[in-house]
Structure 1
Amino acid sequence: MTDYIQTLKHPVVRRLSIIQFLSYFGTWFSQVAIFSMLVGYGADEITIALTAAMSMLPAVVLAPIIGIIVDKVDFKRLMMTLLFVEITMTLGFILIDSLSYVWILMLLIFIRSAAASMLFSAEMTLFPKILQGKMLQRTNEIHSVIWSICYASGMAIGGIATHYMGYDAAFIFDALLYGLAVLLLLGLTLDLEKEEHTDSNWKMFKNGFIYLKNSPKLLHLILLHASIGLTSFDALVTLLADFKYKEIIAVALAIGWLNATRAIALLLGSVLFSKIISQNNLQYFLIAQGVAIITWSQLQANFYISLIAIFIVGLFTTTIWAYTYLMIQENTDKAYLGRVISYNDMFFMVSNVLTAMFIGYAAKWGMSLESITSVLGIGFIFAALYYLWLKKHFIYH
């Protein structure tokens, strides 16, 4: 715990952590409202899956552009612009009052998520430039912990607020939190050596692609990190709430409590395992994640037992995410960080999108939610085998 306190004493890390907290909390707060709204308007499985995928798609299709912008544009100016975009798009959700406008909802989500992806890439590119070693690892873990806290509290409070106050109140509250983040950003002071990128955008794109192509170890680490996309459970949790739990508890509350329970575990797992995980034992964490998901699949019939099971699922995810991200940062030349981070987010989000679409279409075609969940768990067993191969050929080679 002392390491985390020391890391948070860094003025840039501390201020950006608070900004992250405000941004993430608001996002997850309104996420419950979005999916509850879809269920309330009678959306089918494919619409729910497409909406979940739309929040991940920008990092896939815009990755090369995001990387170039992050490497070229001043960090603070870029962050300010992105936060204003997120405010505008979030307020736009209020305009949606039926399924006939779902395409507008998806467009708004796409634009807001594009801004969020760029903001995330900018932060994760900045940190290795000002931090290194254990402090960088702790900063990644703090980022994960903040995400987990916001996921838990945002989903839980968002579910209650949406149930009692309605969708619009959640969207307005979200926009206000982004506004507070803007005010905090105004006071951020950065002392960075200005990097001059004289190459054209096309040349930067090409050089970044060539650098990644010529770095096989880095490519494999990116693919390994992408396996965590198998924990993209938004569509699955929404379908569980709609198909299995709505007779027991309101859909918004079910979504909120399932996600909040998992997120509490994400936070606890990071505290428990961050000092234990290493490149020597990462495969065991991947196996544990897979076994936990498979176990959850067999316990989904009962809402309250499912809460316990999804808690166990959440214990390993944040630790795996933070450590594999650190491995990517440490193996990337600083001149290419923005582009590599964006490509990494692209692969990660492809995994998230494919997972969301698999859940939606598999459910539509009649596959049980238990079987769908088991398939996701088995994916982590294969990820562990892939990492063992990676260790043999690139890490200890």
Structure 2
Amino acid sequence: MKRYVTLLRNEPLLRRLSLIQLLAYFGAWFSNVAIYTLLIQMGADAATIALVAALHFLPGVFQAPLSGVILDRIHPKRLMIFLTLIEILCTLSLISVDNVGMLWLLYVLVFIRMGASSFHFTVEMSLLPRILEGKSLQTANEIHSIIWSLSYTLGMALSGLVVYWVGVTTAFLLDAGLFVIVLILASTLKIEIELSENSAKFTAMMKEAFVYIRNNPVVYHLMILHAILGFTAFDALVALAAKQYYSQIIAVSLGIGLLNAARAFGLVIGPIVLGHWINNARLGWLFFAEAGAIALWALLIDNFYGSLIASVAVGFVTTTLWSYTYTLLQHHTQSDFYGRVIAYNDMVFLGVGAFVSLLIGYLAVLGMTLGMITLILGGVFLIAAFYYEWVRRTYELKEFE
């Protein structure tokens, strides 16, 4: 914990960005419980819930080729202000959705809103390697992952309580207010960086980035390894479990909120415990541990209290896997390509998340138990452990100094 405090104290820009991250990500997750609760109240089936979960990931997939070029040409402060305005407008517009006939509007608003949110995320992640390097960059990524997890924890938990006590509409109004604060903070940022003076056309810059990735196999292998974390896109699974197993014990909104909060508690404490321990040689063991934790959840998913415990174990490993694989990619990417490589990496990661969300809904509609679906997702991390060991033996991965 001391190294996080020291870095934040010595880096005022990182400190301000971290505060913006905390509020922006909190806002992004705060209204999610309201959205899923609204769907369940309207009688949405498993396929519809899974589609909405997928819409949280798909925008980043479609916009990545363009956003990567934009990141390398437009100042991040201007982008953050513009994207926050979009999030405010879309969040307020969600209030108008109140029946199944307006599901089309919900789809559109979630798609646009999460597109802005994922772009905002990519802006900040492409900015970090421009202002930090080495161990400081690894620590900054861990801080970022803790902030994301803390926002996820508080956002889901508090939203569950707000929806339960005062309803969906109030949750959306409060969420929009948070984004207004983010807008004010972003407008006062002082970011002094130099973007590469690349006057090439957008299409040429896209092609240049794809050629760079193709010619650097360690980069695309690291992108694949990071994308595997998309198999922890459990939003649809949690919503379905709350509806199917826990609704007799607890209100659906509270069930969704508490289960996500338990997992996010593990996400917060994971890097604090594992941050000093993790290195290139040990990363494979974390993939094994994630597989085991998800398998435990698969066995306990029909038990609400057992699921809470298993969710903490799942989250405990996930954050360090996420932050370390992200740092490895940044560390092995040439600075002129930061924006585009990070954007394309997020495209692959979000594409996997969207696929997993749809897969969960499809398998549930076919009649597969939620426990078996969860076990399948955990098996992917077992494969990933062997895949990483192959990458480490085939390519020379640089350690952080």
So what's the TM-score if we normalise by structure 2?
A: 0.97
In structure 1, what residue type is equivalent to 2:262? T
1:126, 1:269 → 2: CA distance?
A: 24
**Aligned partner of 1:260: which letter?**
A
- Paired amino acid for 1:334: S
Aligned length: 397
Mapping of residues 198-237 of structure 1, within 5 Å: 198-237=199-238
Instruction: Name the amino acid aligned to 1:77.
Output: R
- Structure 2 counterpart of 1:97, which letter? D
Report what 2:302 is aligned to. Answer: 301
Q: Deviations over 1:103-153 (max 9, x none)?
A: 111111111111112111111111111111111111101110011111111
Are the aligned partners of 1:225 and 1:324 in contact in 2 as well (CA < 8 Å)? Answer: yes
Partner of 1:35: 36
Give the secondary structure class of the aligned counterpart of 1:195: coil
Does residue 105 (structure 1) correspond to residue 106 (structure 2)? The answer is: yes
Identify the residue that residue 157 of structure 2 maps to in structure 1: 156
Q: Give 2:8's aligned amino acid.
A: L
Aligned twin of 1:276: 277
Change (3 A) 1:30 1:396: closer
Alignment-derived partner of residue 143 in structure 1: 144
Indicate yes or no: 2:50 matched with 1:49. Answer: yes
Q: Which amino acid aligns with 1:235?
A: A
Write out per-residue CA displacement over residues 177-212 of structure 1, whole angstroms, 9 at most, x where no aligned residue: 010011111221122124322111111111111111
Write the letter of the residue equivalent to 1:122: V
User: Which ranges in structure 1 are unaligned for 5 or more consecutive residues?
Assistant: none
Q: Structure 1: how far apart are the matches of 2:195 and 2:215? A: 27
Report runs of 4+ in structure 1 exceeding 3 Å deviation.
Answer: none
The Cα shift of 1:301 comes to 2.1
- Residue 216 of structure 1 aligns with an amino acid whose one-letter code is P
Contact 1:269–1:315 (Cα < 8 Å) also in 2? yes
What's the counterpart of residue 287 of structure 2? 286
Q: After TM superposition, give the deviation of residue 395 of structure 1 in Å.
A: 2.8
Percent identity of paired positions between Structure 1 and Structure 2: 45
Q: Which amino acid aligns with 2:243?
A: D
Taking the aligned partners of 2:314 and 2:171, their CA distance within structure 1 comes to: 28
Structure 1 Cα separation of the partners of residues 297 and 353 of structure 2: 19
Instruction: Give the structure 2 partner of residue 8 of structure 1.
Output: 8
Deviations 1:338-390 (A, max 9, x none): 11001100110111011101100000000000000000111100010110111
Measured after TM superposition, the shift of residue 43 of structure 1 is 0.4
CA deviation string 1:279-316 (max 9, x = no partner): 10111000000011011111122211111111111110
Distance 2:50 2:234 in 1: 10
Task: Report the AA paired with residue 5 of structure 2.
Answer: I
Q: Secondary structure of 1:62's match?
A: helix
User: SS state of the match for residue 277, structure 2?
Assistant: coil
**Alignment of 1:23 onto 2:24:** yes
Aligned positions of 1:36-115 closer than 5 A: 36-115=37-116
In the TM superposition, 1:214-363 aligns within 5 A as 214-363=215-364
Equivalent-residue separation in structure 2 for 1:162 and 1:274 (angstroms): 35
Q: Cα RMSD between the aligned structures?
A: 1.1
In the alignment, is the contact (CA less than 8 A) between 1:212 and 1:219 conserved in 2? yes
- In structure 2, what is the equivalent of residue 192 of structure 1? 193
CA contact (8 A) 2:73 2:195 kept: no
Alpha carbons 1:45, 1:360 under 8 Å: kept? yes
Please say if residues 228 and 317 of structure 1, whose CA atoms lie closer than 8 Å, have aligned partners that are also in contact. Answer: yes
- 8 Å Cα contact 1:67-1:343 kept in structure 2: yes
- Structure-1 separation of matches of 2:6 and 2:200: 39
Please give the alpha-carbon distance, in whole angstroms, between the structure 1 residues aligned to 2:198 and 2:238. 44
AA paired with 2:373? I
| Cα pair 1:144 1:322 within 8 Å, conserved | yes
Aligned 8 A contact 1:223 1:347 in 2 = yes
Tell whether the 8 Å contact from 2:72 to 2:195 is kept in structure 1 after alignment: no
Query: Where does residue 122 of structure 2 map in the other structure?
Result: 121
Structure 1 residues 218 and 26, CA gap change in structure 2 (3 angstroms): same
Aligned-partner Cα distance in 2 for 1:224–1:193: 30
Structure 2 Cα separation of the partners of residues 191 and 351 of structure 1: 34
Report SS of the residue matched to 2:193: coil
Contact 2:299 2:371 in 1 (8 A): yes
Moved more, 102-111 or 234-243: 102-111
CA distance in 2, matches of 1:40, 1:8: 43
User: 1:62 & 1:321 partners in 2: Cα distance?
Assistant: 22
Unaligned runs of 5+ in 2: none
Counterpart secondary structure, 2:72: helix
Asked if structure 2 preserves the Cα contact closer than 8 Å seen for 1:70 and 1:118, the reply is no
Match for 1:76: what amino acid? K
TM-score with structure 1 length normalisation?
A: 0.98
Decide whether the 8 Å contact of 1:158 with 1:256 is kept in 2. Answer: yes
2:300 alignment partner, SS class: coil
